[in-house]
Amino acid sequence: MSKKEKKNTASSADTHPAADTKEKEYSTLNLGPTHPATHGIFQNVLKMDGEIIHDAVSTIGYIHRAFEKLAERRPYAQITTLTDRMNYCSSPINNMGWHMTVEKLIKAELPKRAEYMRVIIMELSRIADHIICNTIIGQDTGATTGFLYLFQWREKIYDIFEDICGARLTTNIGRIGGFDRDFPAKTWDKIRAFVKEYPKAFTEFSNLLERNKIFMDRTIMCGPISGERALEYSFTGPNLRAAGVDYDVRVMNPYSSYQDFDFIVPVGTQGDTYDRFMVRQEEMWQSLRIIEQALKNMPDGATHANIPDFFLPPKEEVYNNMEALIYHFKIVMGETDVPKGEVYHCVEGGNGELGFYLISDGGRTPFRLHFRRPCFIYYQAYPEMIKGGMLSDAILTMSSMNVIAGELDA
């Protein structure tokens, strides 16, 4: 690449202090699109001054799959599979968020048991999501052990999902209106066993990194962002809380009976990699607490709402009952009438406020569906956060922000 091209690639005004009158020469570095250290398809064109990042430009959209357009052609029940593929590290949260959006639109009331079951699933997937993020931070600082050690616990969570819905990663879990059936008995045992046994392994992982001098020196003040700046950039989730703002959708706008649970919202102070790591660590403990409470206070009763227009009837009913057959046919063919309306529903996803803005014109498919994807919104602050730092800090900052390519590009 010639010098002239180099200048064009890295953009924006040169704000470097002009200590020497001679124009400084920068080199351009393409980080990505498929770099093993970025754990996904991200391209950043970096303008480097030696090993210091002077400027950066992010290019995104490499795995854009037109979900919003696809959603305009699909009946409501079929959109759940699209939400799976956004933040694929915690698909069940996305699924539940979508179900709740539709339930808000059709004004369905869920029984407590279904809501508590949802809470368990969502908190399990939050743990799975944070396991990936935090162990990868360890991996990127050179501590492979924690990564391999905790990943088997993520497998155990996926075993639980597999029992419930048959899939591990892209789960399509639950239905509009609740669950298709209660969890199998052995799954309840698995959940209980997980809550009981995970803390031991997790404590070992925490001991490995939390007060480790090497790890702390490596991560403290690496890619920091202030609370004010984070709010201006519309940060949400652990990244915002690490910067010291105690905003959590579960507390501010409780959904799915989160108001029944007792948990704290951990916050950091500096918004750097270490704070983001620590906030996620503590959130995993809080998720465990929530699951314990949900298991303890699990009410009896139905596992789905009484909405025959949207919830598939049991098969023996379909074969023997005229109404059930009609409902079955209408739901499967996507001929159910939905009310006209506009709803915005948000849930606390693994990365922050995951919003669904749905406009229905009463047709079989949404008129307009927009996903508020937290990654997409906060990733635009990334160039600002890595400016002035080292190249290796940029890698660490990205993994601690937990940027998921699927969610970024929709």
Lookup result for tokens 């990194």 = 209
Query: CB-side exposure of 250: number of CA atoms within 13 Å?
Result: 26
> What φ, ψ does residue 258 adopt, rounded to 5°?
-65, -20
Q: Letter for the amino acid at 88?
A: Y
Task: Choose which of 372, 395, 401, 402 interacts with other proteins (CB under 8 A).
Answer: 372
Can residue 376 be called a binding residue for other proteins (CB under 8 A)?
Answer: yes
Q: Per-residue x/- mask for other proteins, residues 166 to 195, rule CB under 8 A?
A: ------------------------------
Candidates 255-263, 275-283, 308-316, 375-383: pick the segment binding other proteins (CB under 8 A).
375-383
Nearer to other proteins, 115 or 353 (CB): 353
Write down the least CB distance from residue 367 to other proteins, Å: 7
- The packing angle between helices 185-209 and 112-141, to 10°, is 30
Nearer to other proteins, 82 or 312 (CB): 82
Can residue 151 be called a binding residue for other proteins (CB under 8 A)?
Answer: no
Write down the least CB distance from residue 97 to other proteins, Å: 14
Candidates 27-35, 120-128, 372-380, 396-404: pick the segment binding other proteins (CB under 8 A).
372-380
Task: Choose which of 6, 85, 370, 387 interacts with other proteins (CB under 8 A).
Answer: 370
Count interface residues toward other proteins (CB under 8 A): 41
Nearer to other proteins, 36 or 339 (CB): 339
Can residue 364 be called a binding residue for other proteins (CB under 8 A)?
Answer: no
Can residue 7 be called a binding residue for other proteins (CB under 8 A)?
Answer: no
Distance from C-alpha of 380 to C-alpha of 375, rounded to nearest angstrom: 9
Task: Choose which of 341, 387, 390, 392 interacts with other proteins (CB under 8 A).
Answer: 341
Candidates 267-275, 280-288, 371-379, 393-401: pick the segment binding other proteins (CB under 8 A).
371-379
Whether residue 315 contacts residue 59, with contact meaning beta carbons closer than 8 Å, is answered with no
Whether residue 157 contacts residue 127, with contact meaning beta carbons closer than 8 Å, is answered with yes
Residue 57 to residues 28, 138, 368: CA-CA distances in angstroms? 11, 26, 31
Q: Does residue 366 have a cis bond before it (omega within 30 degrees)? A: no
Nearer to other proteins, 66 or 214 (CB): 66
Write down the least CB distance from residue 328 to other proteins, Å: 24
Can residue 69 be called a binding residue for other proteins (CB under 8 A)?
Answer: yes
Can residue 410 be called a binding residue for other proteins (CB under 8 A)?
Answer: yes
CA-wise closest residue to 102 among 155, 175, 158, 201 = 175
Interface of this chain with other proteins, residues 128 to 147, rule: CB under 8 A: none
Can residue 265 be called a binding residue for other proteins (CB under 8 A)?
Answer: no
DSSP strands (E only) in 192-244: none
Contacts 24+ apart (CB under 8 A), 293-297: 293/260, 293/261, 293/262, 294/116, 294/117, 294/119, 294/120, 294/123, 294/261, 295/120, 295/191, 295/192, 295/195, 297/116, 297/260
Order of strands, sheet of 27-31, starting from the edge strand that comes earlier in the sequence: 27-31, 43-49, 52-59
Interface of this chain with other proteins, residues 297 to 316, rule: CB under 8 A: none
Task: Choose which of 359, 390, 391, 392 interacts with other proteins (CB under 8 A).
Answer: 359
Q: What is the DSSP letter of 345?
A: E
Write down the least CB distance from residue 341 to other proteins, Å: 6
Query: CB-side exposure of 325: number of CA atoms within 13 Å?
Result: 4
31 in helix, strand or coil? strand
Can residue 102 be called a binding residue for other proteins (CB under 8 A)?
Answer: no
Q: Which run of H or E residues covers position 115?
A: helix 112-141
Interface of this chain with other proteins, residues 203 to 232, rule: CB under 8 A: 231-232
Q: Per-residue x/- mask for other proteins, residues 44 to 63, rule CB under 8 A?
A: ----------------xx--
Residues that bind other proteins (CB under 8 A): 11, 60-61, 64, 66, 68-70, 72-73, 104-105, 231-234, 245, 247, 252-253, 341-344, 346, 353, 355, 357, 359, 361, 367-368, 370, 372, 376-377, 379-381, 409-410
